[in-house]
Amino acid sequence: MPSHHAWSHGRIGPGSQFLDPVVLQRIGNLELIARGVVEGFLHGLHRSPFFGQSVDFAEHRPYTPGDDLRRVDWKAFARTDRYYVKEFEAETNTNFTVLLDTSRSMAFGEGEVSKFDYGSFLAASLSFLTRKQGDRVGILTFDSEVRDVVPCSARHLELVLLTIDRSQPDRRGELGPALRDVMNRKGKRGLVALISDLYIDPEELRSPMNQLREMGSDVMVFHVLDSAELDLPYKGKVTLEDMETKEVLPMAPEELREEYRKSLTTHVAEMGRVLTSVGADHILADTSQPLDQALFHYLLARGDRMRTGTGRWASLS
């Protein structure tokens, strides 16, 4: 498994401090966070060598003072002697639904940012970005069952942010029954972002993912993990308590670290394989890393959908 550490922040450019989850944690206000993340991302995106390459052109509009000169379509000027600006986001009325895991395990975090904080920032940022794209946004939170539902609507951004803000990862979660519950609700097809730590047998995701596909939705699965979960950094004798089941296990981590990592790597790989096989994106999101990669993948996915109408199938895991 390629180290996720290659996806370090700083490669986007200035403004990326808004994408650092630690910084975002200190902001506190979720809307502000979302706005800052999105604008910072977009700002960085313009400076990025990848700019314009992975985002498809949508339409022209007349130039207005203040528009970014790099967006001026000079070919169109040559043809028309008029200044036109390329629009990369088209008003497509896509439905974007966030499925946010609010189970207890999401509350884990060895640093300043817990998985749930990260997932909240991500959900909020994606929602904000979605609205900026002109799409409709909605959210559904779950632990062992669906807790909160905000249907997709162009006017529901604030409600979505509010729902994210007030959600707490304080209940036991069971991903399988929760997803079944999600699937039982007839949502609108569109883009779906599942934000969870995915402590489930990968095969259990096959059915709900297939169901979403059959509905015509594209799915991005953000596999949120803390670096401590990835590394098992503890020393000496410890007793680990399962945050979901409260089971305890005394152990010596140093003895088990290698084996644990292998197990986790295998799990992540298998998760990616299963999700890919059902046409979903699997994005491993380390909570210690900036949110830009996650947002980038969102845009890619949306762009594919805009282009093909059916969504993108490639897996990045």
Member of 8, 80, 168, 245 binding other proteins (CB under 8 A): 245
248 binds other proteins (CB under 8 A): yes
242 binds other proteins (CB under 8 A): yes
* Radius of gyration for the alpha carbons in the chain, expressed in angstroms and rounded: 20
Q: Which of 316, 224, 219, 231 is nearest to 273 (CA)?
A: 316
Nearer to other proteins, 125 or 287 (CB): 287
Nearer to other proteins, 199 or 222 (CB): 199
1 binds other proteins (CB under 8 A): no
State the DSSP code for 244: T
174 binds other proteins (CB under 8 A): no
255 binds other proteins (CB under 8 A): yes
259 binds other proteins (CB under 8 A): yes
Q: Which of 174, 207, 193, 210 is nearest to 285 (CA)?
A: 193
Q: What angle do CA 189, 57, 52 make, to 5 degrees?
A: 110
32 binds other proteins (CB under 8 A): no
* Burial profile 61-70: b = 16 or more Cβ within 10 angstroms, e = fewer: eebeeeeeee
Member of 73, 229, 286, 304 binding other proteins (CB under 8 A): 229
**Closest distance to other proteins from the beta carbon of 236 (Å):** 6
237 binds other proteins (CB under 8 A): yes
189/214 Cα distance (integer angstroms): 9
Q: Which of 283, 304, 299, 314 is nearest to 118 (CA)?
A: 283
39/8 Cα distance (integer angstroms): 19
- Stretch 103-122: interaction string toward other proteins, x if CB under 8 A: --xx-x------x-------
- Sign for the CA dihedral angle at 167, 171, 177, 181 comes to negative
- Stretch 198-227: interaction string toward other proteins, x if CB under 8 A: -x--------------------------x-
Query: Where along the sequence are the contacts to other proteins (CB under 8 A)?
Result: 105-106, 108, 115, 197, 199, 226, 229, 234, 236-245, 247-252, 255-256, 259-260, 263-264, 267
